[in-house]
Amino acid sequence: MEDDVDTGFSGGEYDSCSDDGSCSDEQEMEVEQDEPIHVVIEQDKLKLEMDRLAEETKLIIGIPAQLCRVVLHHCRWNKETLTEKYFESESPQHFFKKIGLDYPLDLTYIGKHPPFRKGTCPICFEDSKLTGLSCSHRYCDNCWNSYLSTRFHEFPEPYALCPEPKCKQVVDHDCAFSLLKKDEDKKFYQRVLTNSFVESNKLLKWCPGVNCERVIKLSNTEFQATPVTCVCGYNFCFKCSNEWHEPIDCELLSRWKKKCTDDSETSNWLHANTKDCPKCHVTIEKDGGCNHMTCRSTTCRFEFCWTCLGPWQPHGSGWYSCNRFDDKAAKEARTNQETSRAALQRYLHYYNRFANHQNSLKFENRLMEQIQVKIDQMQAHSFSWIETQFLSKSVEILNKCRRTLMYTYAFAFYLQPNNVTSIFEDNQRDLELATEQLSEVLEREIDASKDDLVVLKQKVQDKCHYVDQRRQVLLKHCAEGLEKNQWVFRDTN
């Protein structure tokens, strides 16, 4: 995770410039760093972004913009990488050969196909008007349309090659649009083109918000693990596309999600609540109070003690004295059982608290509906729109604190205890207490009378300020721990 990224929260308002309006060099530098690290691009503007990059590349390397789009795609739309590789090559033909394409023999027809001519189509063998690329291979309209439509549906890559098996002449996207005859095929190809542009560009990412088709453009690859917010309101991590998950990083979050969803915890439950027969190793669950166990397997029927897994016979009538049985294998089995049980209890401790805040977030979506009703009531009693916005803001802060707390439990699950983790747990406890207090005020005191609304507003604003402050303290401590390598993480699957 990047420590220097602006998370969108400020610790307060400061006016550190002098009376004449001038600022120090350091202050001017801070102003420059406040430039947005990402912008939101509507889907219909992606073609303009592609055209801009192609035109800029054209001015540098001097080949047509249509060809620039092709080679930019092969270089993941990195203009600098393309330029470097291009000028390292002996010639444009040599560069195209290195990336597995044929350089067009005739640049006249780039972006458009040559004039039609009469002939027999080599695919369908029908006499028809034939056309093709700058190579000498010609096909009829129907075969071109069928070939390209099938190609783009089966292999959603934006550039196809000439149908001639040994020809590596590329069909650029202007030619593809002119050779595709059906509107639905052209629309599908446009989606393939834009999706490939986004997926192959390290600075672009589709917004994962529900029914959102916008794209986030990052200003610098150094800020990949940073929170970005789309105009649809969804706040997510640019690197992994999950919702913003500070303080846990993308790798640990992936491990945590896998642990919560795969069958590993089912296995843990079995280890914690069942035992294997010491003789045939079949899994047995104890369903009664007696510790005298008999394996139900018809080929085994081994009698043993549930407590120590030793044979039942030496126990005699004093089966409580399991210390009489001192077999090394039984001790090892008992130790493994206790270790597995402790591991499960530890996991459930963190998972239950993680899930609790996750569920609270869902419930607080309903709280926002109640808040909106209260805002409407306040506006009906001569409160201005500005005066009521503290309620909406308070729910936003509450949600941010819930989400932060949720991910701190996933983060804590992987921490090895040390002196620094105790400070982390204290900060976590303070934030959790303050969050619950704010939640209680919003849920129980929101129906205050008109005369009490001024008091309610001050109370909510004070608690919002405090809870957000505690949140910042917790996140700052986590970030400093990462920067100073103070955290030691468990190798827990």
- One domain, residues 329 and 364: no
Answer whether residue 23 is part of any domain: no
Backbone phi and psi for residue 227, each to the nearest 5 degrees, phi listed first:
-75, 135
Question: How far is 413 from 252, CA to CA, in rounded Å?
Answer: 10
- Catalytic residue selected from 230, 290, 305, 401: 290
State whether residue 456 is helix, strand or coil. Answer: helix
Answer whether residue 33 is part of any domain: no
- One domain, residues 188 and 65: yes
Q: Tell me the pLDDT tens digit for each residue of 50-61.
A: 999 999 999 998
Which of 335, 353, 368 is at the close of a domain? Answer: 335
- One domain, residues 137 and 186: yes
- One domain, residues 380 and 465: yes
The whole-number average pLDDT for the span 92-112 is 77
**Residue carrying the six token digits 């989400």:** 403
CA angle 321–325–326, rounded 5-degree value: 130
pLDDT at 11 over 70: no
| Pick from 28-37, 70-79, 184-193, 219-228: least confident | 28-37
Q: Side-chain half-sphere of 385: how many Cα atoms within 13 Å?
A: 0
- One domain, residues 194 and 213: no
Task: Show the domain range for 215.
Answer: 204-237
Backbone phi and psi for residue 206, each to the nearest 5 degrees, phi listed first:
-65, 140
Cβ proximity of 225 and 239 under 8 Å: yes
Question: How far is 115 from 134, CA to CA, in rounded Å?
Answer: 11
**Residue carrying the six token digits 């055209």:** 51
- One domain, residues 111 and 68: yes
The whole-number average pLDDT for the span 290-299 is 81
CATH number at residue 434: 1.20.120.1750
> Which residue(s) pair with 303 in the sheet?
294
290 belongs to the catalytic site: yes
Query: Within 10 A of 227 (CB to CB), how many other CB atoms are there?
Result: 21
pLDDT at 316: 57
- One domain, residues 304 and 445: no
- One domain, residues 318 and 282: yes
Of 238, 201, 204, 161, nearest in space to 81 by CA: 201
Cβ proximity of 83 and 61 under 8 Å: yes
- One domain, residues 111 and 159: yes
Answer whether residue 168 is part of any domain: yes
CATH number at residue 82: 3.30.40.10
pLDDT at 172 over 90: no
Question: How far is 75 from 134, CA to CA, in rounded Å?
Answer: 23
Name the token pair of 70: 């092709």
Of 90, 86, 87, nearest in space to 70 by CA: 86
Name the token pair of 421: 């983790």
State whether residue 319 is helix, strand or coil. Answer: coil
Answer whether residue 273 is part of any domain: yes
> Which residue(s) pair with 132 in the sheet?
138
pLDDT at 409: 94
Domain count, the chain: 4
- One domain, residues 230 and 326: no
Question: How far is 318 from 483, CA to CA, in rounded Å?
Answer: 59
Answer whether residue 194 is part of any domain: yes
State how far the alpha carbon of 273 is from the alpha carbons of 187, 285, 292, 338, in Å.
57, 7, 17, 10
| This prediction's pTM | 0.71
Which of 152, 172, 199 is at the close of a domain? Answer: 199
- One domain, residues 403 and 443: yes
Please give the share of the chain, as a percent, with pLDDT higher than 90.
Answer: 27
Answer whether residue 212 is part of any domain: yes
Which of 237, 255, 287 is at the close of a domain? Answer: 237
Q: Tell me the pLDDT tens digit for each residue of 417-468.
A: 888 899 999 999 999 999 999 988 887 766 656 567 777 788 888 999 999 9
Answer whether residue 3 is part of any domain: no
pLDDT at 6 over 70: no
Answer whether residue 322 is part of any domain: yes
125: left (phi over 0), alpha (psi -120 to 50) or beta: left
State the DSSP code for 307.
Answer: T
- One domain, residues 51 and 188: yes
Q: Tell me the pLDDT tens digit for each residue of 22-74.
A: 444 444 333 344 567 888 999 888 888 899 999 999 999 888 888 888 889 88
